[in-house]
């Protein structure tokens, strides 16, 4: 994991957070000089708790990646699999849910921002719809 993301991914995320109806404010909390990861703090409206969002630059997010996540990514955090072409396995989601951590792509984050227990939110990318 690291900071190997195209700059437009960060711009797109920040623009979406600015426009999201449940986001009060957000800020980058990583140190660009010393941290190996992009990390955001998102404060939400309507009594919803704040969320730490960690952006993963992995092409294939694995269980090993989850267990090697930064220490700041703990209970109630969201791991954004940030590359549009990236993939992750549903088994990782189940492990993360036990830690009250969410894992998903951009749409999953946008939907999860509406709910307090975001780790229980099932985004369209993981629904079994026929």
pLDDT tier at 130 (50, 70, 90 boundaries)?
very low
Q: What is the pTM of this model?
A: 0.91
Q: Which range, 6-10, 11-15, 73-77, 126-130, is most confident?
A: 11-15
How large is the average pLDDT for residues 65-76?
Answer: 88
**CB contact set of 41 (below 8 Å; sequence gap of 6+):** 26, 27, 29, 50, 51, 52, 53
In a domain, 13, yes or no: yes
Q: Would the pLDDT of 18 be above 70?
A: yes
The closest alpha carbon to 50, from 70, 72, 68, 23, belongs to 23
In a domain, 1, yes or no: no
The tally of domains found in the chain comes to 1
In a domain, 50, yes or no: yes
Residue at token pair 């975001």 = 118
In a domain, 97, yes or no: yes
Instruction: Specify the pLDDT at position 129.
Output: 55
């Amino acid at each position: 994991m690291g900071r190997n993301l195209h700059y437009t991914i960060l711009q797109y995320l920040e623009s979406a957070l600015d426009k999201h109806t449940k986001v009060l404010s957000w800020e980058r909390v990583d140190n660009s000089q010393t941290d190996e990861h992009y990390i955001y703090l998102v404060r939400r409206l309507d009594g919803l708790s704040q969320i730490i969002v960690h952006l993963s630059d992995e092409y294939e997010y694995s269980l090993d990646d989850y267990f090697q996540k930064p220490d700041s990514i703990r209970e109630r955090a969201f791991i954004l699999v940030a590359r549009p072409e990236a993939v992750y396995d549903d088994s990782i989601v189940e492990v993360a849910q036990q830690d009250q951590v969410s894992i998903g792509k951009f749409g999953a984050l946008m939907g999860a921002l509406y709910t307090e227990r975001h780790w229980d939110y099932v985004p369209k990318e993981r629904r079994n719809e026929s």
